[in-house]
Homo-oligomer: A and B are copies of this chain.
Amino acid sequence: MNKVIEQTFSVPFRYPVCFTTRLFDTQNPLLADVMRGEKIPKAFFVIDQGVSEAHPRLIGAIHRYAAAHQGAFVLAADPLVVPSGEQCKNDQASFQQVLDATNDYGIDRHSYIIAIGGGALLDMVGFAAAIAHRGIRHIRIPTTVLSQNDSGVGVKNGINAYGKKNYLGTFAPPSAVINDLTFLETLEDRDWRSGISEAIKVALIKDASFFQWIVANAKALAARDMAVMTDLVVRCAEMHMEHIAGKDPFETGSSRPLDFGHWAAHKLEHLTDYRVRHGEAVAIGIALDSTYSYLKGMLTAAELQQIIQVIRDLGFELYVPELSGEVLLQGLQEFREHLGGRLTIMLLEKIGLGVEVHAMDTELIQEAATRLKTFQMEGQNVSS
C-alpha cells in the first residue's frame, strides 16, 4: 500500500505598523483601539529596564492610560520590568519570568502581551509570547531606532543559546507594532546611531536614492535632528516591511538579503561579548563586505569611499581588533548553518544593488579587514 495525500493551505497574516507620538497620553486612542474587541482583553506589559529608567513616569502613565480606557482592555498585573539589552536574550531568567507571568496571571491566547523596549527585549518577549499557549497576541512598542525601523516591524523573535545569536526563536507576526517616536529622544548617542546602520544596509542593497538621501543627511542625523530621523525610520521600516511581505516571509530558502553585512556582525557581537551593539557591528559588517566587494572588482573605489565616509560621518567605528582574528571566519560557517542549505552571502554589485554569492575568499576577507583598520586610523587622523 502506498498512498499520498497532499496537504496545502495558506495562512494569512495582517498587522498594522503605526507611527505616533505621546502614545500613553490618555487622549491618544491608538493603543486602546488596537485591543478593542467583543470582549475586554487582559493586557500584560513587559518593559525594558533602560527605558523605564529613562522614562521614570512611564509606568504611572500606563496605569493612568489603562484606567482611562477600561472599556478597551484591563491590566493583567503590574508591568514587569526586565534587564535590558542582550542580557535578556542571553540568560534565560527574564524569558522564564515572562512565561511564568502568563501562567500566574491567566494570560490567554486572546490577551495581549505588550513589550516596550529595544530590539533585544522585543525579541525575547516576542518569543515567550509565541510559545505560551502556542501563541498569545503580542504588541510591540519599539523604543530604539533599530527596533523601530527594522527588528520591531518584522516577523522574527528569539533568544540566544549555545553562545549563538537567536539560536532559539520562531517566525511569529505581531498583532500590531506601535512606533512612538518620542521614545527616541532619550536614547544614548550610540543607540540613536546604531539603528541607522540598518537603513544604510537596506539602501545599499535596494535603493541608491535612499542611500544618497542618507549621505546628504548624515550630519543632521549625527546631530540628532528628529525630523530627519523620523523620515529615516518610516522609510526604512517600509522597505523592511515590503521585503518581508514580498516573498518567503518565513525564510524557507537560503537567501536572506536583509542580512547584508550580518555574517560578520553576528560573530563580532559574540566575540566582543556584546560590548559592540548589533547596529554598531552591522556598520562594521557593511564596511567589511563593501570593501570585499570592492576588492572583488564589483564596487568602484569612489563608491566604496562614499560608503566608508557615511559610516564615519555618522560616528561609527570601522574596525575593532576582533575583526582581524581567524576566528571571525567561523562566522561564515555559523551564518550558513543558521540559514541552512547553501552558503549565501549578499555583496554589492553597485550602490543600490545587492548580489548573492555562494563562496567567499578568506584571504580577501582578511585583506578587507586590514583595509578597515587603515580606514579607521585615517579617520582618526582626519578628526584629530
Contacts and interface: CB of A to CB of B under 8 A. Distances in A.
Contact of A170 (B130, B181, B337): B130
B241 A162 contact: no
A60 interface: no
Given A30-B2, A167-B103, A340 B7 contact: no
Copies, count = 2
Interface stretch (A15-23, A44-52, A114-122, A214-222): A15-23
Given A1-B230, A168-B132, A11 B250 contact: yes
B15 A7 contact: yes
A2 B16 contact: no
Interface size, A (range): 35 or more
Contacts of A245: 7-9
Interface in A59-106: 99, 103, 106
Interface string A122-137: 0000010011111110
Given A108-B338, A111-B340, 4 more contacts: A1-B20, A2-B20, A39-B342, A134-B251
15 contacts: A1-B19, A6-B15, A6-B16, A8-B14, A9-B249, A10-B10, A10-B12, A103-B164, A109-B339, A109-B340, A132-B168, A134-B168, A134-B170, A134-B171, A170-B170
3 residue pairs, one from A and one from B, having the closest CB atoms: A109-B340, A110-B340, A108-B340
